Amino acid sequence: RPQRAQTTPHPVRPLQISNWTTAPMAATSSPSTAAAAMWAFAAAACVKLLLVPTYRSTDFDVHRYWLALTHALPARQWYTDASSEWTLDYPPFFAYFSRLLSLPAPFVDASLVDIPVPAAPPSSAYILYLRLTVAFSDLLLLASILLLARDARRRQRPFLALLLVLWSPALLIVDHIHFQYNGFLMGLLLLSLHFLEQGKDLAGGVVFAALLCSKHLFLVAAPVYFVYLFRHYCCGRGLARGLGRLVLMGAGVVAVFAMAFAPFVYYGQMQQLLSRLFPFGRGLFHAYWAPNFWVFYIVLDKILAFLLRRLGFSIEIPEASFTRGLVGDSSPFSVLPKVLSRLLSPFYPREEC
């Protein structure tokens, strides 16, 4: 293949047969990664705008309630208020985030910040405002992508991979149709990873702690972080320095947690908060099955129930069964014991984020 002498950076185009086309064309230099990423974000934003009138799940009502809750009531009542069934079950940083979002809300629609939440269906201004908050929070994701893209060339990371995070269909469906706020949380995660890539372990650890205080689902990544940070940040520098660093990292993480949980420790609400954050009463599974290991347990239970019923034993079909889509505190299992919540709590891969 003849080597093309390229004086200006020139992306290869389809059907280009030779390089005789450079003369009549204007200089179309290859776009910078930042410009391309922002372009991609703008295109995704147009699609998000089109998704405003689509289906909203109950998560929309959940976040609408939290917005009103954090605006109308003092922090003392955030984790104790039960005026709605959608109780606050995210850590305090997310509550602070909701508070932030609620600040412009009264100018859009005064009923947005009423407690208890009015039963009337939300007005279109309301829906548009909430949808736009999700789209705006995705700017944090864009920022993290831009930071990662700066390094993409050196780390041989194809730019397309980063673009696909901005255009991720799963993220679009869950965030902009179903209605959740995973975009900016992913942005925080990527930011933390960026810091780790740069070798700024302390910053990465602190950002991850902040992420944990926003959505405790990311606890699943905590063991990996702990092991990595311990090994990379603390070890291999001698005992004194290593211990010092461990203390420093610990202090950073504790500081972040303190910022989040201190008010609630002061109010003496930690027990209540933890029970809200980790509702083991709901059982091992959600109404909709996640494709994880415990499916085998469910299937085994169903098979046993079927066989034993055939053999003449009277086996009740429980109210909160897996195929009915209901959740409740009673055991959803027919035959096998309800898996003891406290024993197996670390393994609770509840699919509901």
Partner 1 sequence: MAKPKKSRNSAPDPSVAARLPWQPSAPPLATALLISFAALLLRALVSVGPYSGQGAAPKFGDYEAQRHWMELTLHLPSSDWYRNTSDNDLAHWGLDYPPLSAYQSRLHAHLINASLPDAVALRSSRGFESQESKLLMRWTVLSSDLILFFPAALWFVWAYMKDGVGGSGERREGWTWLLAMVLLNPCLVLIDHGHFQYNCISLGLTLGAIAGILSRNELVAAALFSLAINHKQMSMYFAPAFFGHLLGKCLKRKYPIVEIMKLGFVVLGTFALVWWPYLHSYEAAMQVISRLAPFERGIYEDYVANFWCTTSVLIKWKRLYAIKPLKLMSLSATILAFLPSFIQQVKSPSNLGFLYSLLNSSFSFYLFSYQVHEKSILLPLLPASLLALHEPHLHGWFTYYALFSMYPLICRDQLLLQYISVLGLFVLIYYSPGGNYGKGMKISSGTMAVLSLPLLCSILLHTVYLQIEPPKRYPFLFDALIMFICFSQFIILTLYTNYKQWMLDFHPRPVGSKKDL
Contact flag: residue 139 with partner 1 (CB under 8 A) = no
> How many helices and strands (H and E) does the chain possess?
13, 0
Contact between 172 and 48 (Cβ < 8 Å): yes
Contact between 107 and 151 (Cβ < 8 Å): no
| Residue-level length of the chain | 353
User: Shortest Cβ distance from residue 87 to partner 1 (Å)?
Assistant: 31
Neighbours of 44 (CB within 10 A): 22
Out of 16, 58, 275, 345, the residue judged to bind partner 1 by CB under 8 A: 16
Contact between 317 and 334 (Cβ < 8 Å): yes
CA distance 239 to 89: 40
- Long-range CB contacts for residues 245-250, cutoff 8 Å, separation at least 24: 248/202, 249/201, 249/202, 249/205
Q: Which stretch binds partner 1 (CB under 8 A): 39-47, 87-95, 183-191, 325-333?
A: 39-47
Contact flag: residue 148 with partner 1 (CB under 8 A) = no
Contact flag: residue 146 with partner 1 (CB under 8 A) = no
User: Shortest Cβ distance from residue 18 to partner 1 (Å)?
Assistant: 5
Binding mask 48-67 for partner 1 (x = CB under 8 A): -xxxxxx-------------
Q: Within 13 Å and on the Cβ side, how many CA atoms surround 111?
A: 11
Out of 3, 5, 26, 184, the residue judged to bind partner 1 by CB under 8 A: 26
Residue count, binding to partner 1 (CB under 8 A): 48
Among residues 36 and 72, whose Cβ is nearest to partner 1? 36
Residues contributing to the site for partner 1 (CB under 8 A): 1-2, 6, 9-18, 20-21, 24-28, 30-33, 35-36, 39-40, 42-43, 45-47, 49-54, 128, 149, 152-153, 156, 158-160, 163
